[in-house]
């Protein structure tokens, strides 16, 4: 289950961007081992964004199980430009990984969207994953058939996913 942010204006005309997990993190991940299957978040404008946005960037962080506090224990590629076939854009995908979870427990992954303009960087939106169980002895998750189809559709989107990558993730 993926939870969107709890802002009171979610879905209203004042909301500027929509975010969703195209490839969500696994519900169970190994403690201390790199998770090579990437997490991918889709970003789309909702209405007309305010101001002159020059660039969108997304950042992943770990939250406690309820999502209401930051948690330690996440390393890897945690920041990504929003990219598409057209390059860095205000609509496209952010890719994270490989990720490594270094503390056992139950967490959520939060991805925050920032917009860069001449006036600085402003947080625009965020999305939380479902609960992720981090424990020793858990094997690496293989992509499901629907994840494979989604990953294949993302190959042309300029986010560093290739057919060879998908084959490696399937065989791990």
Is residue 9 classed exposed, middle or buried when 0-12, 13-18 and 19+ CB atoms within 10 A define those classes?
A: exposed
CA distance 102 to 146: 28
Least confident range from 25-29, 51-55, 116-120: namely 51-55
**Domains of the chain by range and CATH?**
3-139 (2.60.40.3960)
pLDDT per position as a tens digit, 56-101? 999 999 999 999 999 999 999 999 999 999 887 788 999 999 999 9
pLDDT of residue 9 exceeding 60: no
Angle (CA) 133 127 1, round 5°:
50
CA distance 35 to 169: 10
Q: For the chain, what is the HEC assignment?
A: CCEECCCCCCCCCCCCEEEEEEECCCCEEEECCEECCCEEEEEEECCCCCCCCCEEEEEEEEEECCCCCECCCEEECCEEECEECCEECCCEEEEECCEEECCCEEEEEEEEEEEEECCEEEEEEEEECCCEEEECCCCCCCCCHHHHHHHHHHHHHCCCCCHHHHHHHHHC
CA distance 52 to 152: 33
* Most trustworthy range by pLDDT among 46-55, 110-119, 126-135, 138-147: 126-135
């Amino acid at each position: 289950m993926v939870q969107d942010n709890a802002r009171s204006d979610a879905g209203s005309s004042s909301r500027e961007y929509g975010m969703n997990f195209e490839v969500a993190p696994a519900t169970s991940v190994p403690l201390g081992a790199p998770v090579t299957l990437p997490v991918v978040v889709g970003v789309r404008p909702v209405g007309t964004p305010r101001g002159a946005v020059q660039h969108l960037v997304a950042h992943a962080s770990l939250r406690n199980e309820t999502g209401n506090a930051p948690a330690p224990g996440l390393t890897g590629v945690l920041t990504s430009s929003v990219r598409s076939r057209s390059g860095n854009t205000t609509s496209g995908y952010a890719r994270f990984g490989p990720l490594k979870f270094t503390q056992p427990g139950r967490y959520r992954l939060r991805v925050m969207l920032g917009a860069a303009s001449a006036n600085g960087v402003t947080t625009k939106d965020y999305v939380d994953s479902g609960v992720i169980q981090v424990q020793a002895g858990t094997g690496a998750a293989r992509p499901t058939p629907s994840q494979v189809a989604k990953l294949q559709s993302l190959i042309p989107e300029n986010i560093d996913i290739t057919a060879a990558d998908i084959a490696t993730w399937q065989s791990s």
